[in-house]
Amino acid sequence: METLNKSRQQRHAGNRRRNHRITNICHGPFRHALPVCTKMKLEMGEPSKLCVFVHGVLRSGNSHHRYLERARFLGKGRTKEQFALYVGVSPYVVKSEKVSWIVGEVYEVDKRTLRRLDFFEQCPCWHSREWVDVILDNGQELKAMMYFARERKKQLVLSGDFNSG
């Protein structure tokens, strides 16, 4: 009986260490200075639905679209404002540069999916999540959250569409 309790304690200690590693994925210069993305509040005047605008590997047909398997597709579209789309290891958008409209898809997500997306995007360590205005292909305008990268530049995509080339 005593050895059974010891093995349980060792297993739980291992889980605590593993969970600590998972929750503290943010290393480097940004680890203390940034707000936690999952605590982003919906303020007055902002939409009550959690809509996310995705522009790269999270789009349908791309390698990480499975993160949106529980989400409801709302349509294809583009950002109302211009930003810069870069491609490094994966595509990312820089907010401070005005180059082109970013082409992507909008999904309505639940809080669990949003947390998974934050984890995938390493938010807030490498990306921040902010509200943007999006124009769907059918002309409808809506607000959606979009991930922006910290300033790190690789290859610029002038068209703003990751899937176009």
Q: Pick the catalytic residue: 2, 69, 121, 141? A: 121
Does residue 151 have an active-site annotation?
A: no
The DSSP bridge pattern shows strands 72-87 and 51-54 to be unpaired
CB-CB contact of 55 with 102 (8 Å):
yes
The catalytic site residues sit at 121
